[in-house]
Structures are given as structure tokens and as C-alpha cells.
Amino acid sequence: EAQVTQNPRYLITVTGKKLTVTCSQNMNHEYMSWYRQDPGLGLRQIYYSMNVEVTDKGDVPEGYKVSRKEKRNFPLILESPSPNQTSLYFCASSLWVPGQGVRNQPQHFGDGTRLSIL
């Protein structure tokens, strides 16, 4: 089954304790992205990756890091989490190919990770 898998689904932790949220897709997609969802703000892009070893900032990258060492995985890293990073996080992937526009390829989302930073 084609899917985007995030882990963990829920995490409560404390300020300053490094954490990683994993994201894996089994569709051989080039493009992957992280969003955060906050009440009244909708979803906002944190980081994205066009391909292995190619990543760039989205709209709200402060306090986050990502890596793309393999095509299927795109972990989100919070080196020193703070309470304002308490949110619902989504990973997404797409078959979109740079230089060829959207090409009728929607984004597929994971089930989300709810982070609470105390």
C-alpha cells in the first residue's frame, strides 16, 4: 500500500531535549516536505526536499533541521525544542519533478505527529 509513515504519532517532551520525527514514503517520490498545523493558521511549510541531499527552507524553518540521505526518508529534527513548537506536524511527498511543473501530481500526507513541548 502506498503511504507516508510518520513516527511517533504522539510525543510529549520537555524544553531543550532533542527529538526527531521520522518520515518515510514507499512511493519512490522525489519531493518531500514538512508542514506544521496550528489552530487558526492552517498548514505552513517548514522545509522541503527536491531529492537526496537537496533541502531548503519553507515559510517557518526557525528551530528545525532536516536531512535527506535516502530518497524514502525525510526526518524532522528539533535540536532544542521550545513550547512554541508545540503543534501538529505533517510530512508529505509527491512524484513532482523539478523543472516539469506540478505535472498533475498531488501531495500525499502522513497521519501526522502531535508534539507537545513542556
Partner 1 sequence: AQSVTQPDIHITVSEGASLELRCNYSYGATPYLFWYVQSPGQGLQLLLKYFSGDTLVQGIKGFEAEFKRSQSSFNLRKPSVHWSDAAEYFCAVVLPYSGGSNYKLTFGKGTLLTVNP
Which residues are near partner 1 by CB under 8 A? 4, 31, 33, 35, 40-45, 48, 50, 56, 58-59, 90, 92, 94, 96, 98-102, 104, 106-112
Collapse the DSSP code of 85 into the 3-class scheme (helix H, G, I; strand E, B; otherwise coil) and give the result: helix
Q: Are 13 and 21 in contact (CB under 8 A)?
A: no
Minimum distance from residue 92 beta carbon to partner 1 (Å): 8
Minimum distance from residue 60 beta carbon to partner 1 (Å): 12
Minimum distance from residue 48 beta carbon to partner 1 (Å): 6
Q: 29 or 117: whose CB is closer to partner 1?
A: 29
Q: Are 87 and 21 in contact (CB under 8 A)?
A: no
* Backbone Cα Rg of the chain: 14
Q: 46: how many CB neighbours lie within 10 A of its CB?
A: 24
